[in-house]
A and B are shown apart, each in its own frame.
Chain A
């Protein structure tokens, strides 16, 4: 398999704080790689190293087949587009001027793609409005348009849906999928909105305290995300008793709701509940979300 980015034992320390600790990660070409972790887990640090903003303390990485200590690595970044943390825009310029500025920076021979890009991210009608007066969502779109300048092979998006309204989130999602499918652009996306990431990512990397906890494909994740049956009952205390008798795994959600992780025959279970003196009010199949999987992987903290 061909990879656009690979790192081996990559570490980054800030004084005594270890932001990345011997990280090993591979991003396959053509994938949409969802990078998941809590605040301070090391996601942005990895992106900064990848983008050449900072240098690793130890370990190495390859970007589009070029090692980080090779002088050609700077040149290889011409094939990279990125929005790191906040979108990088000149606030006293219009959206169009910002894109022209990026074209100049990349040494592009003409500005033909500027109007096309503005149209693509829905900023074609902003006219002479300065980027400083844009809403957060508009800035995010402009940041993505800037990252798209020069037709990059690999785009890094750090929280791309930050500040976007639901309609904007759908648009950006569609845009990422379109660019990935039609142009084969590889994406590395770090996002806090895990369910949103779950809709587009083909590969996942889960990071915690600078370590890669798990790396898997979308298919593997689907298999791992357990299905459960969400039951609403009269009394979950009786439900607990029945589940323990039958040795089924379960999780109490509140005093009337519980998730059961087992395969069983509904009518048999209903009889057992009736015997125990408990009524089943509703029963429905429930998929474990990416967020729930993430929490189970890292031990239940919600700050993702």
Chain B
């Protein structure tokens, strides 16, 4: 298990997709901050470090999905998945290693997003406004857990689909649907004006999604206990592990 994990992590760190991902984070965040700065200067208002805290999470789902797609689908299309099996590694270990690799990518992106955001905050921001330092740290810890869970699930989705080209469509479409669904759930649970109009089963269902589906965590300021977020992220990772091991062990590799 450790040899394939070491090999997979080595491959991820060497991959062009990861470097492109880091460049995309830096570019996107810098562009956002500059736009805020220009608007702020025009309106004669200062910007705060926490004004752009949600910039990275806005793109995180797509970024992690795209990165795992490029790296894991590449494993199939380059034939390297065949090499892993031929090298005498069990399929369970291959699936687990791929999953941890997906989590690792999520972790690295979240770390990069956090560092760039903090750095830009120090350079361009005027301290924290609505967040305390502790809340700011909580936000990034939960964001990192979420990114890792999404990375794991996205990777397993590709393994289930056998790394076919359709993985790109399904992977990105799933990320898009989750983003739209997030907006729908949060909009209904926390309407801009007036109280929540949801009742009965729909209210319970939407509340459950908001509480336990990691894809929704990045769009709202953390307001549940760490245990809730652990259950949500851990649950998604556990589902990924079970699905990945069962399906990948039976998968016919071309």
Residues of A within 8 A of B (CB): 48, 51-55, 74-82, 84-93, 97, 100-102, 104-107, 146, 150
Contacts and interface: CB of A to CB of B under 8 A. Distances in A.
B89 interface: yes
B177 interface: no
Give the 7 A-B CB pairs with smallest separation, nearest first: A88-B79, A78-B88, A107-B3, A104-B7, A53-B253, A77-B88, A88-B83
B23 to A, nearest CB: 15
A76 B253 contact: no
A85 B79 contact: yes
A102 B83 contact: yes
A79 B6 CA distance: 20
Contact of B85 (A52, A92, A107, A150): A52
Interface string B117-153: 0000000000000000000000000000000000000
B3 A51 contact: no
Interface in B53-81: 74, 78-80
B84 interface: yes
Interface in B11-34: 11, 14-16
Interface of B: 3-4, 6-7, 10-11, 14-16, 74, 78-80, 82-90, 252-254
Contacts of B84: 105
B89 to A, nearest CB: 7
B4 A105 contact: yes
B81 to A, nearest CB: 8
Contacts of A79: 88
A87 B254 CA distance: 13
Nearest to A130: B16
A256 to B, nearest CB: 49
Contact of A88 (B10, B80, B90, B254): B80
Contact of A105 (B15, B89, B252, B253): B89
Contact of B87 (A77, A85, A97): A77
Contacts of A53: 82, 85-86, 252-254
